[in-house]
Chain A
């Protein structure tokens, strides 16, 4: 069964420092991976996705993510954090080998990122 793990409930980083939010996955076959961000009292917003191709994926707001098949990881990164990046981040996976066009996503539990000035 497909699943996603976000091992850290919280990540704290100083403004200007690099940040990493971790995600590991478990699927059969090649995964389709996503990162979403949720600001307080708002819906989820798409950040970036990995479907195929280059292992380093660039997304919105200066975020990027590195797909590592051997480690089954898809960590979210940003070279220089901003206070405005403080939010709840979700990793998600869709198993493309289900033979379905549903596009169903399986979400991790979320990681609260706090960037302090």
Chain B
């Protein structure tokens, strides 16, 4: 198992550009999450999904969109990038209800200038 994989590892965007952060898991997990990590601030939940076709907003969804067309993939879309979106983005997955451990990907470091 590769676990949770994320691409790219690093990216620099100009203000106003768009991009998609990819996340794939090969563990057949139902639940998937996107977090952002800012220095000294812990992790904040952006979006989550409880299964293919079902997504919902977390704590900080503004400026982002997601889709979940398959169990494996959960891409995060940034439209009109802003400097405030400079952060490290982590994707995570969890097997099913009643199992609470989350498995994290290695992260994508995004800089918007």
User: For the complex, is A104 an interface residue (Cβ under 8 Å from B)?
Assistant: yes
- The answer to whether B97 and A101 have CB atoms under 8 Å apart is yes
CB <8 Å contact, B102 and A90: no
Q: Which residues of A contact B106 (CB under 8 A)?
A: 41-43
Interface size class of A (residues with CB under 8 A): 20 to 34
Indicate if the CB atoms of B94 and A108 lie closer than 8 Å.
Answer: no
Contact residues in A for B104 (Cβ distance below 8 Å): 36, 43-45
Q: How far is the CB of A30 from chain B (nearest CB, A)?
A: 13
Which residues of B lie under 8 Å from residue A43 when comparing CB positions?
4, 90, 92, 104-107
Cβ distance B100 to chain A, nearest Cβ, rounded Å: 5
CB contacts (< 8 Å) of A107 on chain B: these are 42-43
Give the CA-CA distance A102 to B49 in the complex, in Å: 8
Task: Please measure, in the bound complex, the distance between the C-alpha atom of A67 and the C-alpha atom of B113, giving whole angstroms.
Answer: 44
Indicate if the CB atoms of B31 and A44 lie closer than 8 Å. Answer: no
Q: Are A103 and B90 in contact (CB under 8 A)?
A: no
Chain A: residues with CB nearer than 8 A to chain B?
4, 9, 32, 34, 36, 41-46, 49, 51, 90, 94, 101-105, 107-110
Q: What are 19 A-B residue pairs whose CB atoms fall within 8 Å in the complex?
A: A32-B100, A34-B100, A41-B107, A44-B102, A44-B104, A46-B101, A46-B103, A51-B100, A90-B42, A90-B43, A101-B50, A102-B50, A103-B94, A104-B48, A104-B58, A105-B102, A107-B43, A108-B42, A109-B41
